[in-house]
Amino acid sequence: MSVFTISGFSDEIDKMIDVQFAHIKSLGITHFEPRFVDGTSIADLTDEQVSVLKEKMQKEGIKVSSIGSPIGKIKITDEFEPHLQKLARVIEIAKALDAKYIRIFSFFIEKGDDLEKWHDEVICRMKKMTELAEREGIMLLHENEKNIWGELPEQCDRIIREVNSPCLRAVFDPANFIQAGAKPYPDAYNIMKPHIEYMHIKDALEDGSVVPAGYGIGQIDKILGDLKNSGWTGYVSLEPHLGAFEGLGSLEGGEDKTVMKSGATPEKFTLAYESLVKIINSL
């Protein structure tokens, strides 16, 4: 377990942060990736709410692995300056919570639109965001996500190489690559391996339906095995998506394909956790 530090999107346990903390502590998890706190997006917390959250973290002995921000989940045609200001606020929150990383995306593109037409704008925006992060001593982690410019490994690779900053690295999400039509291993992994700073643990079937780690075609065992053998150490963050949770619709930009639609529960988070631990122990 020392190679991988397990974290997770605990808002997929329950809406309320007290319930989230109690459950991850019962599993022995010491980190979380805040995305929604008591139903409010991490990016929209007030200073007072951030202070309350930090007090609860200190009381429970829980730390932030990365800020699960919504930055970059806007249309490429949307105005950018207000979004850059939002990133500045998220950086303030990250620093207040002693978080080193902020998860970001590279903008929704209309289906059928020419990706190359938007290449320059995407890189320009990513550079501006990274420059802001550099000034503040924060690292941005670009996550591959369906329907954004960087949904495929070749695009993610281009973003990170062309921005060319030590403050921009990659989150690798196997299920998201499957949903975008890419093969996580070995194809996507071989392209992205030099850039991987952080892992999201989410598996999927060939049709994109999300399942616990090891139950889909993401070959998470091979990915984690190769990372381990390569000397990689870092966070593996559970993003179960085994049921709808408050705020999911605003993040996905469309219908989310899940195996179970009845809602996020502690039991489903536990299933995701135990599936990951089984893989890690097998290594």
For residue range 221-260, what is the model confidence (pLDDT) as tens digits?
999 999 999 999 999 999 998 865 455 455 455 544 444 4
Whether residue 1 has pLDDT greater than 60 = no
pLDDT for the residue 259: 43
pLDDT for the residue 2: 67
Q: Under a CB-based contact definition with an 8 Å cutoff, are residues 91 and 133 in contact?
A: yes
Average pLDDT over residues 99-114: 97
Q: Under a CB-based contact definition with an 8 Å cutoff, are residues 15 and 9 in contact?
A: no
Question: Burial code of 74-99, b = ≥16 C-beta within 10 A, e = fewer?
Answer: bebeeebeebeebbeebbebbeebeb
pLDDT for the residue 263: 75
Distances (CA, A) of 132 to 2, 68, 144: 32, 18, 21
* CA distance linking residue 183 with residue 30, whole number of Å: 31
pTM, to two decimals: 0.93
* CA distance linking residue 30 with residue 36, whole number of Å: 18
List the end-to-end C-alpha distance of the chain, in Å, as a whole number. Answer: 10
**Tens-digit pLDDT profile for residues 136-145:** 999 999 999 9
Edge-to-edge strands of the sheet including 234-238? 4-8, 234-238, 196-201, 168-172, 139-143, 101-104
Tell whether the torsion through CA atoms of 53, 51, 45 and 128 is positive or negative: negative
Whether residue 44 has pLDDT greater than 80 = yes
Domains and CATH numbers, the chain: 4-282 (3.20.20.150)
Provide φ and ψ at 191, rounded to 5°: -75, -40
3-state DSSP assignment of residue 4: strand
The DSSP output letter for 171 is E
* Residue 59: partners with Cβ closer than 8 Å, 6 or more residues away: none
Is residue 218 exposed (0-12), middle (13-18) or buried (19+ Cβ within 10 Å)? buried
Query: Angle at Cα 108 formed by Cα 174 and Cα 238, nearest 5°?
Result: 30
Query: Angle at Cα 210 formed by Cα 25 and Cα 243, nearest 5°?
Result: 55
Answer with the residue of higher pLDDT: 57 or 265.
57
